Amino acid sequence: MWQHLGMRELFQNNRRWAKQIKNTDPLFFENSARRHQPEFLWIGCADSRVPANEIVGLGPGELFVHRNLANLVIESDPNCMSVIQYAIDVLKVKHVIVCGHYGCAGVAAAINGGPDELIDNWLVHIKDLYDRNHPMLADYVDEEQRVDRLCEINVTAQVSNVCHSKIVQAAWQRGQDLKVHGWIYNMTDGLLKDLNITVDTPGGVPEL
């Protein structure tokens, strides 16, 4: 059941959560503050219904996370690129997961037009994907199916962008153990789908 929470309730929730963690593992926070070695970088959508840690059953410190509207990886975005660089060069993650979700409002807005100019500018990369794949997408009479297929195409494109980044290319050139994966999440049943995209060499980057 959805609840309307005030600021006080959020702090109360935090205290309950911290207490539960301490009851399970009294040294959790002390150890967590000293050690940060996640094996996974998650690049996902900012949609609040797609909580990265909960989806894969990982706790604090086990998943390094970057989220933005429509899970885009754009080389000119210093926020995303700095997260990728820190994850790979400093934390030495072994897996980068690009995870989209079906019914993504950002992807739908790229097809139908966003609510304002700023969002439209951000989504121009998905609009380009839509234009390039329009003949195939036009075969989907149902709008929801068309959006969902573009969500999958977008994940593939962002995996490709991750793989082509100078950061990942340099990691592979020095022999670092690193795999890039493409997944998608279904909010209607809570399940992840592997799009069978896993890249661990420069030659394995998916074609668009």
Kindly list the catalytic residues. 45, 47, 49, 101, 104
Q: Please give the structure tokens belonging to residue 62.
A: 């086990």
Please report, for residues 64, 130, 133, 192, the alpha-carbon distance to residue 146 in angstroms, rounded to integers and kept in the order given: 31, 10, 11, 19
Q: Where are the alpha helices (DSSP H) in 91-184?
A: 105-112, 117-122, 124-132, 134-137, 143-164, 166-173
| Distance separating alpha carbons of residues 168 and 202, to the nearest angstrom | 9
Kind of pairing, strands 63-68 and 40-45?
Answer: parallel
